[in-house]
């Protein structure tokens, strides 16, 4: 397949490119204002070559002037057999000397740098879109996969900006501003992040944080989905914009669970509507007005690849300003790879990149391993199925645990929330009780 190319109509600004090169020749202090640039950001090949040669001189600690620059380009031309050493590859010595014609000495060339970077980004975008069109026409693979890959490339292009090192004074100002913004956003909440719906857990962790991934692990029926459901409800009532990927429970079942909680209706009565009395039926109906205003979206796709998850999430972040994403549960999300380990690494990378790149809080549920005949024990790290990558990369790991008696029956009154890992805070055990009537965790 022939690769797309750019023509003379592609976005570029020869004048801005010349202004940058000429300014550096007149005053080498301007060079350090081009740190965000690379030679490929220049459109004209001659300008790319001049800039890359300037970079070689700067790296070697050699002053950049007409003599050193023409000597370096001439020597480079000879090495690459591109002329007699008279700078033919860039239009000759006369072109280099013309770069400063009519150009005043300026100390600040940031405006020119920004123009060139803007044009470069536009050219990259055009190339990527052209490549995508060629791939689609080629009809070589599933369209869903092509959409996900194109989306990922565009997102990478959008975030592919260089960052200058900053003095600690500036960083302190940014950190204070971020803390203030977090406090304003938190308002009256107990957590500085998004609430976990448990006061003690909020105190220990500060809640679920933006740009971080929290793992909630647990054995089957220990209550990891319950903790997720409580968190969704608590945050929805505060207006937090959420997206939930539910592979375990249908969206209709989740909606009924929300209604049971908000209407204080016994969940067992909801499962069998015939058991609801007149008052429960009325409350159950009225609560639709409240839940219907929640900024909450639910996806219960039975088959979900991580590329699809990321694509959908980014779409809803753009369209609906989603701030928090739930995944129930991570082992049910498909990934790409030759074996289960590589597939899980692919899933984790997609989810972790999504949290960091989009600045959202990610909460993923994870199934814990338990071998046949093994006595139930308090969870610890490396118990998650395919745990190494999940637990290694997670910022916080919380296990849900309901101990068993000697006969193998759960003891819900002695349930625990185990903070097994936290990068920026303590670990520990929080005692809770699981209310078997309301199906929620309560403070103990």
Is there a single domain that holds both residue 91 and residue 231?
Answer: no
Q: Would you place residue 158 in the very low, low, confident or very high pLDDT band (cuts 50, 70, 90)?
A: low
Residue 136 lies in a domain: no
Residue 336 lies in a domain: yes
Residue 385 lies in a domain: yes
Do residues 267 and 260 make contact, with C-beta atoms less than 8 angstroms apart?
Answer: yes
Q: State how far the Cα of 300 lies from the Cα of 319, in Å rounded to an integer.
A: 19
| Residue 18 Rama label (left phi>0; alpha psi -120 to 50; beta) | alpha
Is there a single domain that holds both residue 100 and residue 225?
Answer: no
The pLDDT value given to residue 302: 75
The pLDDT value given to residue 151: 75
Residue 280 lies in a domain: yes
Range 101-115 average pLDDT:
84
Q: Which residues are CB-neighbours of 94 under 8 A, at least 6 positions away?
A: none
Residue 106 lies in a domain: yes
pLDDT exceeds cutoff 60 at 7: no
Is there a single domain that holds both residue 207 and residue 355?
Answer: yes
Do residues 30 and 109 make contact, with C-beta atoms less than 8 angstroms apart?
Answer: yes
CA distances from 264 to 107, 229, 236, 403, 430 (A): 68, 15, 17, 27, 25
CATH number of the domain within which 53 lies? 1.10.860.10
**Which domain-ending residue is among 96, 118, 140?**
118
Q: pLDDT for 257-312, tens place per residue? A: 888 888 777 776 666 556 666 777 777 777 888 888 899 998 888 778 888 888 88
By C-alpha distance, which of 299, 301, 325 is closest to 232? 325
CA atoms within 13 A on the CB side of 174: 6
Do residues 443 and 226 make contact, with C-beta atoms less than 8 angstroms apart?
Answer: no
Helical ranges in 245-299 per DSSP H: 251-262, 267-271, 278-286, 288-291
Give the residue numbers spanning the domain of 28: 14-118
Is there a single domain that holds both residue 78 and residue 203?
Answer: no
Q: State how far the Cα of 404 lies from the Cα of 434, in Å rounded to an integer.
A: 13
Residue 260 lies in a domain: yes
Residue 380 lies in a domain: yes
CB-based burial label for 373 (10 Å; 0-12, 13-18, 19+): exposed
**Which domain-ending residue is among 118, 136, 160?**
118
DSSP secondary structure code for residue 410 in this structure: B
Pairing of β 361-367 and β 324-328: parallel
CATH number of the domain within which 305 lies? 3.40.50.300
Q: How many domains does the chain have?
A: 2
The pLDDT value given to residue 219: 87
Range 95-110 average pLDDT:
84
By C-alpha distance, which of 214, 242, 233, 231 is closest to 298? 242
Count other Cβ atoms within 10 Å, centred on residue 186.
17
Is there a single domain that holds both residue 259 and residue 408?
Answer: yes
Count other Cβ atoms within 10 Å, centred on residue 444.
13
**Which domain-ending residue is among 87, 118, 149?**
118
Please give the model's pTM, rounded to 2 decimal places.
0.64
Residue entry with tokens 């308090």: 378
Q: pLDDT for 194-241, tens place per residue? A: 999 999 999 999 999 999 999 999 888 888 999 999 999 999 999 999
Residue 286 lies in a domain: yes
């Amino acid at each position: 397949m022939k690769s797309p190319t750019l023509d003379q109509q592609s976005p570029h600004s020869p004048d801005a490119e010349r202004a940058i090169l000429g300014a550096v020749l007149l005053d080498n202090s301007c060079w350090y204002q081009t740190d965000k640039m690379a030679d490929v950001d220049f459109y004209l090949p001659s300008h790319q070559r001049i800039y890359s040669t300037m970079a070689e001189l700067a790296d070697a600690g050699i002053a950049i002037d007409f003599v050193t620059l023409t000597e370096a380009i001439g020597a480079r031309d000879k090495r690459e057999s591109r002329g007699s050493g008279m700078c033919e590859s860039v239009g000759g010595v006369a072109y280099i000397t013309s770069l400063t014609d009519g150009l005043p000495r300026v100390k600040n060339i940031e405006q020119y740098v920004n123009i060139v970077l803007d044009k470069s980004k536009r050219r990259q975008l055009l190339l990527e879109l052209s490549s995508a069109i060629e791939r689609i026409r080629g009809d070589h693979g599933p369209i869903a996969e092509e959409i996900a890959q194109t989306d990922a490339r565009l997102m990478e292009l959008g975030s592919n900006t260089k960052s200058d090192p900053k003095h600690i004074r500036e960083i302190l100002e940014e950190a204070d501003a971020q803390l203030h913004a977090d406090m304003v956003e938190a308002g009256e909440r107990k957590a500085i992040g998004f609430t976990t719906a448990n006061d003690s857990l909020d105190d220990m962790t500060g809640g679920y944080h933006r740009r971080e991934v929290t793992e909630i692990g647990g054995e089957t029926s220990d209550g990891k989905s319950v903790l997720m459901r409580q968190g969704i409800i608590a945050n929805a009532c505060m207006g937090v914009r959420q997206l939930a990927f539910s592979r375990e429970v249908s969206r209709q079942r989740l909606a009924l669970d929300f209604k049971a909680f908000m209407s204080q209706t016994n969940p067992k009565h909801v499962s069998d509507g015939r058991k609801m009395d007149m008052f429960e039926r009325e409350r159950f109906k009225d609560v639709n007005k409240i839940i219907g205003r929640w900024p909450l979206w639910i996806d219960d796709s039975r088959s979900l690849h991580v590329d699809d998850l990321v694509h959908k999430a980014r779409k809803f972040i753009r369209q609906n300003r989603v701030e928090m994403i739930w995944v129930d549960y991570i082992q049910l999300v498909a990934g790409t790879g030759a074996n289960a380990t590589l597939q899980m690494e692919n899933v984790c990378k997609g989810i972790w990149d999504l949290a960091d790149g989009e600045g959202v809080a990610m909460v993923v549920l994870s199934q814990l391993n338990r071998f046949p005949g093994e006595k139930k024990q308090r969870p610890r790290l490396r118990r998650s199925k395919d745990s190494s990558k999940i637990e290694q990369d997670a910022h916080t790991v919380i296990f849900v645990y309901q101990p068993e008696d000697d006969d193998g029956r759960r003891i819900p009154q002695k349930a625990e929330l185990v903070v097994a890992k936290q990068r920026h805070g303590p670990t520990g055990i929080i005692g809770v009780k699981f209310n078997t009537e309301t199906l929620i965790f309560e403070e103990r």
